[in-house]
Chains A and B, each alone.
Chain A
Amino acid sequence: MTDAAQFPGAARDVLTFRLGGEVLAVAATQLREVLEPAPVTRVPGAPAFSAGLINVRGAVVPLADLRVPLRMRHTPPGPDARILVLDLPLAGQQAIVGIHADAVHEVTRIGPADLEDIPTVGTRWPPRFVAAIGRWGGHFVTLPDLPAIFADFLSGQSGRSHLPGPTAAGQQDLEIS
């Protein structure tokens, strides 16, 4: 999905949240619910990006960690940690995924005037993973391009479709240049 498709010119409601010391946002239309931290089942052999599964009202849902593709530092979850449950297109189908958040802020409206150009240099983040950067209450807020991040992960996974084992540990870096 392109930036334009995800963030056309109109103002939109987003949920802002904190992760790895940064403020991020997801489109409210993609958000299904916000959950308290739940028991996570480890998936042996899965990369760090999607290392676990959770139960969301009887559905088995993959839990993804945006800190991996966005190269953020990992801090242990605090009392404000939450799981955002999102509807996203995955491999051509709508799917439910969970993502970690260190804390959830609020639903706010971001208009075109609040959006800034994405600098091509100087950011720590792979530019193709960033849909837009905006301002919210004096902070920079990053809108990650979630479909792009997941698509990138899925395309990288095709080479990984064998049995996991000790060797799988070396494949946990998502970065594919």
Chain B
Amino acid sequence: MMDAETLAVFRAEAEGLVESLESNLLALKDAPRDRALIDGAFRDLHTLKGTGAMFGRADIASFLHDFETAFDRVRDGSVEVTPDLLSVALAARDHVVALLSAEPAEGADRAGAAILSRLAALMGTPAAPGAAPDAGPWHATFRLPADTAALGGRPELVLEELRRLGARTIRARTGDVPPLDRLDPVCLYLGWEAEIDATATEDDIRGAFLFHEDGLQLSLTPPAAPDATAPPPRGPEPPQHRAPALMRVPAERLDEMMDRVGELVIAEARLNELAARFGDPGLVAVAEDIQRLATAMRDNTMSIRMTPIGAITGRFRRLVHDLSRELGKPLALEVTGEETELDKTVIERLADPLMHLIRNAADHGLEPPAARAAAGKPEEGRITLSARYSGAEVLVALSDDGGGLDRDRIRARAVERGLLAEDADPPDDALWKLIFEPGFSTAPAVTELSGRGVGMDVVRRTIEDLRGTIDVASAPGGGTTVTLRLPLTLAIIDGLLIDVAGERLVIPLAAVDEIVELPDSLADDDSGNAFLDIRSSLVPFLRLRRLLDSEGQPGAHQKVVVVTSGEGRVGLVVDRIIGSNQTVIKQLSPLHSGIKTFSGATILGDGAVALILDVPQLVARGRSDTDCQGEAAA
């Protein structure tokens, strides 16, 4: 019986295969002759079937058998990929998911049988493929090494393996067995000859002698080749291009590993402090070694956690495929930058918000075909998902080429919901952001898919939890683009450690543009000036002392740390720069997560807790503060 952990390993592996199968099938829709996709789908089916059998899920293995056969025939060119075949294969994929989900549901057998009969109808007669049954068999004569039994080898298991491969007759050759008085009981004197179905490949047959290769005597005559010296035919071309060896690991182990690395990084910082204090050259050298190792280990661990966004786009293709049917709108999804990698935690939590945005685009964003035709657009609505790097962030954009957001309707709805004053006339981007407010929905009719006003606020909350931000751009008739700006990782960052009134805080180093001296003319808290002139560009600044409600008065030589986020820049006035450090980000508990100034906390080398400043929030704050001042001045 499988224990829970093994079951989880099996599930994870099967789910990965199901997802890969689905994305291969969906991609085949557009490229029905693509060799790599066909091979991929076959391999997924084959492995899924094998994994099912290995973990005792005979139901899955036997259900998939005919599909494996069907795709094998696609592979050898005797069957074409048709929309019907893909459709029934997708149904099979769903059925496997149902079989995987805990206990098989009532009526699952019937559902599976219906799918199989659809497949059989498509494939014509459900005859077994491969070599014709009347082809002659392989003829094998072999002797196992004499020490087989001494090594614990079991000849009967080799014979069993050959039977599994289709051995019809197996005869022992006893000619070399000595008289009893000279017989060594652990020595193997027997030989065998066997006739094996032509469906087996030479590799299969040789593989049956695993671990008996040394000292094995084997002569193998291929089917339908009476001349034993003729070269044996190769079996079907092996599909695999030896992919690098992979190991599946439960995600929690990676999380644990990341925690340990985090602790290591903290301990390493403490060691460095001590080494610097004692000044012993030997100790400093060791500390530096450990620092180098810890940094490399951190990078390795993080890279293990990085997952390409392509890992979740398969389900989006499926979603768009399904939405297209349900809504009666022809839809196409284009994905670019699938190789862009994000921390696995971010990727996993990104799937739901993106699904929701896609649903929204399909349901509300894209016009019905007739309206599109009238507007001179192609009937097929286009949804584009693109991902790319931008500094220490990843931008994930979801666009549609639909009608664009309806400014008047959103405004009216916002006023109705009390989100906007009657006479307010905010700029577009401010107005668009209101669609992420709880309970906001302008859909005229509530459809099955969306429009119930739940979801968009959840999208925003999820993205904010990931320390990301959302931007919306829309043009009337030209479609809508929602851009999610996400940090690469949630786990460890390089931080700039600063001092404000004796309290230490961390600024993510990736966001730091430069550090300048605060001019004496601005040293006074009441100077009123909100801008800093840095090489003739005006940068708004925030005094962290004021923002953090600090006590006492600043000394001389305050510094300004200029940080950027998106298009914005803001200067943060601090008392002192302490230095850079590796910062292991710890999430704040629900008691403090409502305080937007901080994105998390970390533990410093001396064991104290330091808060991490949330740069995007501070930049937004710097902008709005200066906006207010600008208005007051006007």
Contact = CB atoms under 8 A, between A and B. Distances in A.
Contacts of B621: 163
Given A45-B597, A60-B609, A164 B549 contact: yes
Interface stretch (B290-298, B331-339, B582-590): B582-590
A96 B587 CA distance: 12
A45 B595 contact: yes
Interface stretch (A7-15, A105-113, A133-141, A154-162): A154-162
A54 B609 contact: yes
A90 B591 contact: yes
A48 to B, nearest CB: 12
B586 to A, nearest CB: 4
A131 interface: no
Contacts of A46: 591-592, 595
Nearest to B590: A91
Given A58-B603, A61-B589, A90-B590, A42 B595 contact: no
Which of B549, B586, B591, B610 has the largest number of chain A CB atoms within 10 A?
Answer: B591
Given A46-B595, A90-B590, A60 B546 contact: no
B608 A164 contact: no
B609 A164 contact: no
A79 interface: no
A39 B503 CA distance: 12
A59 B549 contact: no
B263 A58 contact: yes
A148 to B, nearest CB: 15
B607 interface: yes
A19 B567 CA distance: 50
A24 interface: no
A44 interface: yes
Contacts of A29: none
B597 A42 contact: no
A64 interface: yes
A166 B611 contact: no
Given A60-B603, A60-B609, A165-B549, A42 B589 contact: no
Given A165-B549, A169-B549, A97 B597 contact: no
B596 A163 contact: yes
Contact of B589 (A95, A163, A164): A95
A105 B550 CA distance: 36
A43 interface: yes
A53 to B, nearest CB: 4
A62 interface: yes
Given A53-B601, A95-B590, A41 B610 contact: yes
Among B503, B592, B607, chain A packs the most CB atoms within 10 A around the CB of B592
Contacts of A54: 609
A91 B611 CA distance: 22
B591 A62 contact: yes
Contacts of A164: 547-549, 595, 597
A41 B594 contact: no
Nearest to A167: B549
A153 interface: yes
B596 A161 contact: yes
A62 B609 CA distance: 11
A118 interface: no
A157 B594 contact: yes
Contacts of B602: 60
Nearest to A40: B609
A60 B595 contact: no
A42 B589 CA distance: 14
Given A62-B589, A163-B621, A55 B597 contact: no
B609 A55 contact: yes
A45 B609 contact: no
A97 B595 CA distance: 17
Contacts of B548: 44-45, 164
Nearest to A166: B549
Contact of B603 (A55, A93, A95, A96): A55
Contacts of B266: 58
B598 interface: yes
B564 interface: no
A35 interface: no
A41 B609 contact: yes
Contacts, number: 97
Given A41-B601, A43-B598, A166-B546, A62 B592 contact: yes
A55 B503 CA distance: 16
Interface in A78-99: 90-91, 93, 95-97
A150 interface: yes
Given A54-B609, A60-B588, A44 B597 contact: yes
B301 interface: no
Contacts of A168: 549
| Residue of A46, A54, A95, A158 contacting most chain B CB atoms (<10 Å) | A46
A91 B592 CA distance: 12
Nearest to A169: B549
Contacts of A165: 546-547, 549
Given A166-B549, A169-B549, A50 B591 contact: yes
Nearest to B587: A60
Contacts of B596: 161-163
B461 to A, nearest CB: 11
B617 interface: yes
Nearest to A160: B594
B352 to A, nearest CB: 17
A168 B461 CA distance: 23
A50 B589 CA distance: 11
Interface in B568-618: 586, 588-592, 594-598, 601-603, 607-611, 617
Contacts of A150: 591
Nearest to A45: B595
Contacts of B259: 58
Nearest to B548: A44
A64 B591 contact: yes
B549 A44 contact: yes
A64 to B, nearest CB: 7
Given A43-B598, A53-B601, A164-B597, A154 B263 contact: no
Contact of B607 (A55, A61, A153, A158): A55
Contacts of A160: 594
Contacts of A93: 590
A24 to B, nearest CB: 20
B399 to A, nearest CB: 30
A47 B597 CA distance: 14
Interface in B242-276: 259, 262-263, 266
In the complex, which of the residues B546, B550, B597 has the most CB atoms of chain A within 10 Å of its own CB atom? B597
A150 B590 CA distance: 10
30 contacts: A41-B503, A41-B608, A43-B592, A43-B595, A44-B550, A44-B611, A45-B595, A45-B597, A46-B592, A46-B595, A55-B603, A58-B262, A58-B263, A59-B586, A60-B589, A60-B603, A61-B589, A62-B588, A62-B589, A62-B591, A62-B592, A64-B591, A90-B589, A90-B590, A93-B590, A157-B594, A158-B594, A163-B617, A164-B549, A164-B597
Given A43-B592, A97-B591, 4 more contacts: A45-B597, A60-B602, A153-B591, A154-B590
7 A-B pairs with least C-beta separation: A44-B548, A91-B590, A41-B609, A161-B594, A60-B586, A60-B601, A62-B591
